[in-house]
Amino acid sequence: MEYVVYILYSQKHNKNYTGFTTNLIQRFSSHNFFGKDSTAKFRPWIVVHVEFFSTKEEALKKEKYYKAGRGNIKKNELIQEFIKQKNT
């Protein structure tokens, strides 16, 4: 099984969300259309970054990295790079 760590960005609300899943398409649809979780109020979301892992442990470690400290700085850099490329 393959695990995906993903970073979403809501340009409308200038918010981001980091998570992990085994089915990115289904999870993305949940965030944008079906779910009623904390991400629902910040729709629409776009996927700005994905990374693939062979184990759940690796994916969880990377997700945790992006949510704190230096990883949070790196995540914000990835988002800014995406926005810059999108606007050029």
Kindly give the confidence (pLDDT) of every residue in the chain, 88 residues in length, as a single tens digit, with 9 standing for 90 and above: 999 999 999 999 999 999 999 999 999 999 999 878 889 999 999 999 999 999 999 999 999 999 999 999 999 999 999 999 988 8
Number of domains observed in the structure of the chain: 1
List the Cα angle 83/19/59 in 5-degree steps: 110
Q: Are residues 8 and 48 in contact, defined by beta-carbon separation less than 8 angstroms?
A: yes
Question: What residue numbers bound the domain in which 30 lies?
Answer: 3-86
Q: Are residues 20 and 59 in contact, defined by beta-carbon separation less than 8 angstroms?
A: yes
CB-side neighbour CA atoms (13 Å) of 56: 4
- Cα 16–chain centre separation: 7
Domain containing 62 — which CATH number?
A: 3.40.1440
